[in-house]
Structure 1
């Protein structure tokens, strides 16, 4: 089972469509906010999406907490949890939501880590990356209780030094 996770596309439309086509075998599509598109925009069709600090349509949900692909996901942009400074606030909320996988953006910095038995994933930005040159997104591959977080550049190349495999107990 696979999930495509992106964030911080800041107005890009063609790229969202391109990624949906490239990864049409994904079971779930997640956008962690700052699409800067209107709620219900056709480029967001098929995505589970949340409101970022640059999304001004109040119909966007602030977060999503739901079962997907056999895991409890918590998806938010991150600006409401001060993720540029610490993951502690987001971690507390993830615990309240009983989330196993936490997807967020806002900082534009790609990375993943396991904290307290929860997997935190920031796919970076497909428009304005920080920390690296590559515009990034994530393909999450779930096999039993093994989860592989694969970071890709917008041109489709795997970024090996960011990609990791995690095991859930």
Structure 2
């Protein structure tokens, strides 16, 4: 099962369109991590049939979406958030503490615009980087395990 992870488009709708076009036929889920929910709304006009979930970022003013969410997907517990509620610009201690406390398998966050992948205590962490700068992430969940990687448009 494949999840395509996007964040921080900051008014660059074309970046989201490029990512969705590239993966519309091979992604089981798209996750948007905030700071560009209006951009995602515009992109979804072109791609109304993709499966997408999202959270809001600190720049998504008046957004009806939460800043963090936990879902189950293909047997894995996923915490996804913009990152600002966990102060990720100042380190990952808070988000790691939350991940451990809820028993997360995968944690996805944005906010810093810096691509990042790490496994800590068997929990897989990813920041896809900023879609505005051409970065996004892919999470493949297979019987053999979880694989994460960054890509560019």
Q: Do both share a fold (TM > 0.5)?
A: yes
The question of whether the paired residues in 1 share the 8 Å contact of 2:16 and 2:131 is answered with no
CA contact (8 A) 1:11 1:36 kept: no
Gaps of 5+ in 1: 129-134, 155-169
Question: Do the aligned partners of 1:110 and 1:136 also contact (CA within 8 Å) in 2?
Answer: yes
Instruction: Please state whether the residue corresponding to 2:95 is helix, strand or coil.
Output: helix
Partner-residue secondary structure (3-state), 1:142: strand
Given that 1:36 and 1:54 are in contact with CA atoms closer than 8 Å, whether structure 2 keeps it comes out as no
Report deviation, 1:145.
3.9
Structure 2 unaligned blocks of 5 or more: none
- 8 Å CA contact 1:78, 1:104 repeated in 2: yes
CA deviation string 1:94-141 (max 9, x = no partner):
12322110000000010100112211100001114xxxxxx2111112
Corresponding position of 2:17: 17
Task: Work out the number of aligned pairs and report it.
Answer: 147
Q: 2:55 aligned with 1:50, yes or no?
A: yes
TM-score by length of 1: 0.80
Quick check: 1:50–1:64 contact (8 Å CA) kept in 2? yes
Return the structure number with greater relative CO, CA threshold 8 A, min gap 6.
2
Moved over 4 A (4+): none
Which of 76, 92, 117 is the matching residue for 1:71?
76
Is the 2:69–2:81 contact (alpha carbons within 8 Å) kept by the matching residues of 1? yes
Instruction: Show the counterpart of 1:108.
Output: 113
